[in-house]
Amino acid sequence: MMEHTKLHLKTWLLAIHFVIQAKTGILSLAGKRSLGVCYPTAWLQHHKINNAMPQQEPAPRLGGAVQLDGACFDGECSGGKVGQGSENKVPFVAAAPLNVEGLPMHLKLDPVSGFSADAIAKGAKANLPPIATVLSEGLACLAAVTAASCIHTPRVVGALKPRDLSEFKWVTLLENLDAELAGAFKALKFGKYAKTYLAAFARRFNH
């Protein structure tokens, strides 16, 4: 991350501290002010640190009881499609395995190619052991977790939102992600940076 850099080590350590300790993340503009560097330098540091976060995270398989939900990075796209078919939306799946006390052990956020049975089955085989019991809302494609020999318990929420149901208490933390991005950015290239920001959000939650 710091290879061939001309910045002082102290500047890097301060940047790392600001990024990983901020509850809701930190803007490059705030980094510029705090570190005394120009905006392009602060932006580059911010993204290098965010990209390094998932490399330092272990990749445990999700076992036991797992809350699962599908969501999208929303982005306005003038003249384009609306809803989940929009070309400016990035679908991803959130999974929160729970311990015996019903508390999340960690949060995992993975972009997917789309909300299709094939995409969900591929992700389930990569991350879920056969013993996992998966609770999800009634989105049809999420039933594909059974391709990984998991036990699937769907809950049709109807007119309600998952946040209104105690069963989905932890995966509805995704609303915090929406609020964080909406409050911080006027524009964001969702397709290009989705994986980076999802990984950074998950790491802050996990630690």
Q: Is residue 192 part of a domain?
A: yes
- Domain harbouring 150, CATH code: 3.30.420.10
For residue 76, the model assigns a pLDDT of: 44
Q: Is residue 3 part of a domain?
A: no
Q: What are the tens digits of pLDDT across the range 45-59?
A: 888 888 887 776 666
**Residues 81 and 111 grouped into a single domain:** yes
**Residues 89 and 174 grouped into a single domain:** yes
**Residues 98 and 135 grouped into a single domain:** yes
Q: How confident is the model at residue 95 (pLDDT cuts 50, 70, 90)?
A: confident
How far is it, in rounded angstroms, from Cα 64 to Cα 98? 7
How far is it, in rounded angstroms, from Cα 41 to Cα 71? 32
**Residues 16 and 74 grouped into a single domain:** no
Q: Is residue 19 part of a domain?
A: yes
How far is it, in rounded angstroms, from Cα 207 to Cα 185? 24
Q: How many residues are given for the chain?
A: 207
Q: What are the tens digits of pLDDT across the range 5-49?
A: 889 999 999 998 888 777 656 667 777 888 889 988 988 888 888
Tell the residue number behind the tokens 């350590």, with chain if given.
13
Please state whether the predicted TM-score (pTM) of the whole model is above 0.95.
Answer: no
CB 173 within 8 A of CB 147: no
**Residues 140 and 44 grouped into a single domain:** no
Please give the residue range of the domain that contains residue 30: 9-56
**Residues 94 and 171 grouped into a single domain:** yes
Q: Is residue 4 part of a domain?
A: no
For residue 8, the model assigns a pLDDT of: 92
Q: What are the tens digits of pLDDT across the range 164-193?
A: 666 666 666 666 676 666 655 656 677 777
Angle, helices 9-21 vs 28-35, to 10°: value is: 140
Considering its fold, how many domains does the chain have in total? 2
Q: With residue 53 as reference, give the H or E element that holds it.
A: helix 39-56
Q: Is residue 99 part of a domain?
A: yes
